[in-house]
Amino acid sequence: MQLKRKHASMLALAAMLSAAAAGAAYGADDLDARIAALPPGPDTDAIVLGRNITFDTPHYAPGHVSGNAISCASCHIGGGMQAKASPWGGITGVMPSYSGRSATVESLSQRINNCFVRSENGTPLAFDSPEMNGLLAYMAFLSRGVTGGDFVPGRGMGKIANIAKMTPDRAHGQAIYTQRCASCHGANGEGMRSGGTFSIPPLWGEASYNIGASMARLSPAAAFIKNNMPLGQGGTLTDQEAVDVAAYVTQQPRPDYPPKVNDWPKGGKPADARY
């Protein structure tokens, strides 16, 4: 009974946090219902912790986000359930996998920590920590029913066709940002805070992701913007508009990532890397 009460209270808090983070608009209600149907016990507690970390990383993984208050769900919309917002369904069946950036075969735990040190501009989780095990359990839960080696539809963030042949227009991107993005993300990319954490993530500045993050690159940022932004209106910008907004946002000041000197040791660094 105590476990059930604890489980229910954690889910209630998770639901409130997801609503504050706009997660509920992307299937978080269904997600919570699925988790609530699980039998109480340590495995379910780990899944709940992973879900809570995803929607409110600063609260549930304190000390690992540095001055950054971004949550995993800021990019993995809907807690890893949104197509073309780097969904997590099936991820446990395709990892470990090779990364050209590190020139090594990386485990899922290593990939998670890449997000903590780059996208969160923070510090890595211990591989045997409750937080790491919670995230792994949550990703495994989202991967249930997905054939090993497969992935849910909408893997990654999609791509902008012929982006290499397009000419980004930062001035036009700034104008679109002002019209379509600034009402949520702020005129200076500062985001929107609620209760000390960000309900809307900052897009540049010291509280944002660092230059080592994938979202600091033009191509991934443009694809994410095209398919997911403005929030709830993904697909309403043209390819050129998405590229222009990405060109404006990615060139704004953001934290450095000193270990970047070790990236792509065998070559192949993308042309749009910020370093």
Residues 219 and 255 in one domain: yes
Residues 76 and 123 in one domain: yes
pLDDT of 28 reads 53
Token reading at 40: 């109480």
How much of the chain is helix, strand and coil, in % rounded to 5?
A: 50, 5, 45
Residues 200 and 117 in one domain: no
Q: Tokens 């986000």 label which residue?
A: 65
Answer yes or no: is 149 within a domain. no
How many separate domains does the chain show?
2
Which of these three, 142, 171, 187, is where a domain ends?
Answer: 142
Residues 208 and 103 in one domain: no
Answer yes or no: is 156 within a domain. no
Q: What is the mean pLDDT of residues 55-59?
A: 94
What burial class does residue 186 get, using C-beta atoms within 10 Å of its C-beta: 0-12 exposed, 13-18 middle, 19+ buried? middle
Which of these three, 109, 142, 175, is where a domain ends?
Answer: 142
Q: What is the mean pLDDT of residues 12-27?
A: 38
Query: What confidence tier does 173 reach under pLDDT thresholds 50, 70, 90?
Result: very high
Residues 14 and 136 in one domain: yes
What is the separation, in whole angstroms, between the first and last Cα of the chain? 54
Whether the predicted pLDDT of 25 surpasses 60: no
Residues 120 and 173 in one domain: no
Residues 48 and 177 in one domain: no
Answer yes or no: is 46 within a domain. yes
Residues 236 and 173 in one domain: yes
Residues 197 and 124 in one domain: no
Answer yes or no: is 272 within a domain. no
Residues 123 and 176 in one domain: no
Q: What is the mean pLDDT of residues 176-195?
A: 94
Answer yes or no: is 43 within a domain. yes
Torsion of CA 96, 126, 157, 58, to 10 degrees: 170
Answer yes or no: is 152 within a domain. no
User: pTM of the entire structure?
Assistant: 0.88
pLDDT of 195 reads 75
Render pLDDT for 197-236 as a digit per residue (tens, 0 to 9). Answer: 788 999 999 999 999 999 999 999 999 999 999 999 999 9
Which of these three, 110, 142, 174, is where a domain ends?
Answer: 142
Render pLDDT for 103-157 as a digit per residue (tens, 0 to 9). Answer: 999 999 999 999 999 999 999 999 999 999 999 999 999 999 988 777 788 999 9
Residues 126 and 169 in one domain: no
Residues 133 and 67 in one domain: yes
pLDDT of 89 reads 94
Answer yes or no: is 154 within a domain. no
Distance CA 132, CA 83 (A): 24
Whether the predicted pLDDT of 168 surpasses 90: yes
Which residues does residue 153 pair with via DSSP β-bridges, in sequence order?
none
Distance CA 98, CA 104 (A): 6
Answer yes or no: is 274 within a domain. no
- Domain hosting 246: range is 163-262
Looking up residue 84, the CATH number of its domain turns out to be: 1.10.760.10
